[in-house]
Each structure stands twice: as C-alpha cells, then as structure tokens.
C-alpha cells in the first residue's frame, strides 16, 4: 500500500514567518461569492430602474408662482398619504392673470379720472372721502380674491394619484382625486394667440373613476406634463407586474 | 353729541330728519357690515386653502388677509364717525 502522508507525523519543520512580516490570514467569507454577485447585480438593476420621482428630482423646476413645478420641495396637501410624493404641482399660467391685473389697475386709476372730469360735486366732502377709501378697499379685495383663487386652484400629480383642488368661488371648495392606474386617455388642447405665444394649454384626462374627467386648465408646457404622466403610468404598470402595488 | 349718539338719535327720531345723506349712511353701514363678514370669511377661507395646500406662501397670505379685514373694520368705523 502506498504510504499516506500524515502531516502530524511529518518531520519537516514548519516554515517560519520572517520576524518583520505579519501575514494576514484570509478571513472566511461570510457569504458565498455567487450571492454577493447577485446582490451587486440587483443593486445595478435598482440603479437603472430608479423611480420617476427620483429621476425628476434632478430635473426639479420650482418657483413660487410657477405654472408647472416639478418635484416641488416642502409642498404638502391635505389628503397626502405618508409615502406619497408630490411629482407635479400645476396651476394656470401666470399670464392668465393679465385680465384681472389690468382691471385692478383701471379700478385704481378710476377715481383720479372721475375727479379730473367732475371737478365740482354736490356730494359732501366726508362722503367723498369714505367713498374713495371704500372704492380702494373693494379694489384690494377684488385683487386679493383673484390672486387667492389663482394661487390655490391647483392640480397635484403624485406618484400614486391625481388630486384636483378647485375653488369655483372663494367660499366653495371641491377636491377630487383619482388613482393613476384609472387614467384611460390624455388629450392636450392648445389654441389661440396667447396660448401659442406663451406655450400653455389644457391637459384633459379621462379616467375610469367616479369623476370621468380631470382637467389641468391653462398650464404651461402641457406636452411635458403629458410626458411625465406617461412615465408615471409606465412605472405604475411595472409595479402592478412586479406585485409592488401600494 | 357724539357721531354714534347722533346716528342712534337719527335712527330713533324719525322726525329729526331722515334726509338723503342719513339714508345713504345707514345703507353704507349695512353694506360695510356685510363687507366685514366677507373679510372674516376670507380669513377662514385662507386658513382652509393653506391647509389644503401648504408649503408655500401661507404666512404672507394670512397676514394680507388680516390686513384686509383691518382695512374693512377701519372703513366701517370711519363711515360710522365721519358720515
């Protein structure tokens, strides 16, 4: 029988380590290499498959009075869920305020014009004073109300749904929302001189929900909004396929 | 007689002379009372609007709403005293 080498019986001296060199012993691997590779791959796939919210974070466009704010920071709304992220905040294009701003300026100038024309008046001075003050207060009220209605009438697109906050009058509020997966059809409508010059228009969204139609009225750059909506819809479909629906 | 007493006196004493300007004054005061209610409603509405969408411009808007109400109240007092 051939001799079997037994290390314990070996008379050879063990190799001595040089005094100055400290040999590091290889640590035992906690995970097999295959698993580590898989993890790396998953991380890469995750990187590639960034959510729309993350992608748009880099394209953030904000402004206090902007018509379209992409990923606006600090914006929260009443019915927002904990994990829900605001992707778009939409309101009418600022140029749509031209009418009431012009009217306000006319109202502000009207008393001066009237007094220049009617220099003599039968109205007592005290009445004149109160009327002028009342006129300017009403003008301020008018402008303030118009501003409030414009500023707070918004549509919000989150990574889960569309929320429409509507104020037909100052004392009436209507908030409606629909899930993104209920969106069926999107239409961009643009027309007219002002809309062509300032690049704004309507985005009409048809849904399968209770409210059949959502309208983002007179928003700037409607094509970009539709593109972002398409990205969100694709993401939503992907989530459904992967069973990650919230 | 203070303007308010005069006003009350005018209200009570019909024979004391309800001229055109007194009627206009009463009308103006009634309108201004409604205006005050409107000013309060605006403050309430601004609160609700800020709650519905917060994170931008709530504070300045609330301040303007209060100044607006202040102006209306000032106008009412002025109308009460000066007319």
Residue A121 lies in a domain: yes
Instruction: Mark yes or no for CB contact B53/A78 under 8 Å.
Output: yes
Nearest to A139 by CA among A114, A187, A104, A109: A104
A120 lies in the same domain as A230:
no
pLDDT digits (tens, 9 = 90+) for B41-79: 999 999 988 888 887 788 899 999 999 999 999 999 999
Q: Please, what is the Cα angle at A46 between A40 and A51, to 5 degrees?
A: 165
Instruction: Mark yes or no for CB contact B52/A77 under 8 Å.
Output: yes
State the nearest Cα–Cα gap between B6 and chain A, in angstroms: 16
What pLDDT score was predicted for residue B41? Answer: 93
Kindly report the average pLDDT of chain B as a whole number.
85
pLDDT digits (tens, 9 = 90+) for A224-238: 899 989 988 888 888
Instruction: Show residues of chain B in contact with A74, CB under 8 Å.
Output: 55-56
> Distance from first CA to last CA of chain A, Å, rounded?
70
A119 lies in the same domain as A201:
no
**SS3 at position A21:** coil
Q: Which residue has the higher pLDDT, A159 or A120?
A: A159
Instruction: Mark yes or no for CB contact A167/B68 under 8 Å.
Output: no
- What's the full length of chain A, in residues? 246
Mutate to test the interface with A, among B49, B62, B66, B78 (most CBs of A within 10 A): B49
Give the residue extent of every domain in chain B: 19-82
A166 lies in the same domain as A223:
yes
Q: What percent of chain A has pLDDT over 70?
A: 76
What pLDDT score was predicted for residue A148? Answer: 92
Helix, strand, coil share (%) of chain A residues, nearest 5: 45, 25, 35
A140 lies in the same domain as A55:
no
Q: Residue A27: which residues within 8 A CB-CB, separation 6 or more? A: none
Instruction: Mark yes or no for CB contact A171/B24 under 8 Å.
Output: no
Q: Is A149 a residue whose pLDDT tops 80?
A: yes
Q: Please tell me if residue B71 touches chain A, with a CB cutoff of 8 Å.
A: yes
Instruction: Mark yes or no for CB contact A137/B46 under 8 Å.
Output: no
A138 lies in the same domain as A64:
no
How many domains, chain A?
Answer: 2
Residue A66 lies in a domain: yes
Distances (CA, A) of A88 to A11, A99, A141, A160, A220: 79, 26, 30, 12, 12
A230 lies in the same domain as A198:
yes
A87 lies in the same domain as A158:
yes
Q: Is A107 a residue whose pLDDT tops 80?
A: yes
Residue A9 lies in a domain: no
What pLDDT score was predicted for residue A49? Answer: 60
pLDDT digits (tens, 9 = 90+) for A19-51: 555 555 555 555 577 777 777 776 665 555 667
Instruction: Mark yes or no for CB contact A78/B51 under 8 Å.
Output: yes
Q: Minimum mean pLDDT among A61-75, A113-127, A227-241, B9-23: which range?
A: B9-23
Instruction: Read off the pLDDT band of A78 (50, 70, 90).
Output: confident
Q: Please, what is the Cα angle at A9 between A8 and A10, to 5 degrees?
A: 95
Domain, as residue range, for A192? 51-92+153-239
Instruction: Show residues of chain B in contact with A124, CB under 8 Å.
Output: 21
Kindly report the average pLDDT of chain A as a whole number.
80
Instruction: Read off the pLDDT band of B15 (50, 70, 90).
Output: low
Instruction: Read off the pLDDT band of A85 (50, 70, 90).
Output: confident
A65 lies in the same domain as A140:
no
Residue A170 lies in a domain: yes
What pLDDT score was predicted for residue A46? Answer: 59
What pLDDT score was predicted for residue A9? Answer: 53
A58 lies in the same domain as A164:
yes
- Closest alpha carbon within chain B to A167: B49
A105 lies in the same domain as A162:
no
Residue A114 CA from chain centroid, whole number: 47
Instruction: Show residues of chain B in contact with A171, CB under 8 Å.
Output: 41, 45
Instruction: Show residues of chain A in contact with B79, CB under 8 Å.
Output: 130, 134
Instruction: Mark yes or no for CB contact B78/A133 under 8 Å.
Output: yes
Instruction: Mark yes or no for CB contact A130/B79 under 8 Å.
Output: yes
What pLDDT score was predicted for residue A146? Answer: 93
Can you give the CATH number for the domain in which A234 is found? 2.30.29.30
A116 lies in the same domain as A224:
no
Residue A81 lies in a domain: yes
What pLDDT score was predicted for residue A45? Answer: 59
- Dihedral sign (CA A103, A108, A112, A117): positive
Residue A28 lies in a domain: no
For helices A98-117 and A125-152, angle between their N-to-C axes, nearest 10 degrees? 170
pLDDT digits (tens, 9 = 90+) for A163-214: 999 888 877 888 888 888 888 888 999 888 888 999 999 999 998 877 788 8
Instruction: Read off the pLDDT band of B14 (50, 70, 90).
Output: low
A69 lies in the same domain as A160:
yes
Instruction: Read off the pLDDT band of A1 (50, 70, 90).
Output: very low
Rounded-to-integer distance, Cα B14 and Cα B30, Å? 18
Q: Residue A246: which residues within 8 A CB-CB, separation 6 or more? A: A83, A160, A239
What pLDDT score was predicted for residue A58? Answer: 66
| ipTM associated with this complex | 0.78
- Dihedral sign (CA A66, A68, A70, A73): positive
């Amino acid at each position: 029988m051939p001799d079997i080498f037994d290390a314990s019986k070996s008379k050879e001296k063990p190799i001595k380590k040089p005094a100055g060199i400290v040999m590091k012993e290889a640590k035992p691997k906690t995970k097999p290499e295959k698993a580590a590779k898989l993890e790396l791959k998953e991380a890469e796939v995750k990187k590639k498959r960034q959510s729309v919210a993350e992608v748009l974070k880099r394209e953030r466009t904000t402004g206090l009075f902007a018509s379209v704010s992409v990923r606006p920071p600090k914006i929260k709304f009443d019915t927002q869920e904990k994990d829900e992220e605001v992707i778009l905040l939409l309101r009418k294009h600022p140029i749509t305020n031209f009418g009431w701003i012009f009217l306000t300026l006319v109202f502000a100038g009207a008393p001066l014009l009237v007094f220049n024309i009617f220099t003599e008046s039968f109205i007592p001075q005290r009445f004149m004073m109160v009327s002028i003050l009342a006129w300017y207060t009403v003008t301020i009220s008018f402008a303030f109300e118009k501003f409030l209605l414009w500023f707070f009438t918004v549509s919000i697109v989150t990574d889960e749904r569309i929320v429409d906050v509507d104020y037909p009058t100052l004392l009436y509020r209507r908030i409606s929302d629909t899930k993104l997966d209920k969106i069926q059809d999107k239409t961009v409508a643009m027309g007219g001189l002002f809309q062509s010059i300032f690049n704004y228009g309507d985005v009409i969204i048809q849904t399968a929900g209770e409210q059949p139609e959502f309208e983002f009225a007179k928003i700037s750059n409607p094509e970009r909004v539709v593109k972002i909506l398409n990205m969100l819809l694709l993401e939503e479909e992907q989530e459904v396929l992967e069973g990650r629906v919230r | 007689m203070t303007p308010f007493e005069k006003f009350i006196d005018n209200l009570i004493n019909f024979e004391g002379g309800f001229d055109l300007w007194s009627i206009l004054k009463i009308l103006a005061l009634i309108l201004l009372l409604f205006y005050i209610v409107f000013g309060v409603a605006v403050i309430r509405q601004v609160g609700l609007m800020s709650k519905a969408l917060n994170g931008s411009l709530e504070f300045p808007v609330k301040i303007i709403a209060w100044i607006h109400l202040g102006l209306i109240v000032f106008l009412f007092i002025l109308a009460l005293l000066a007319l």
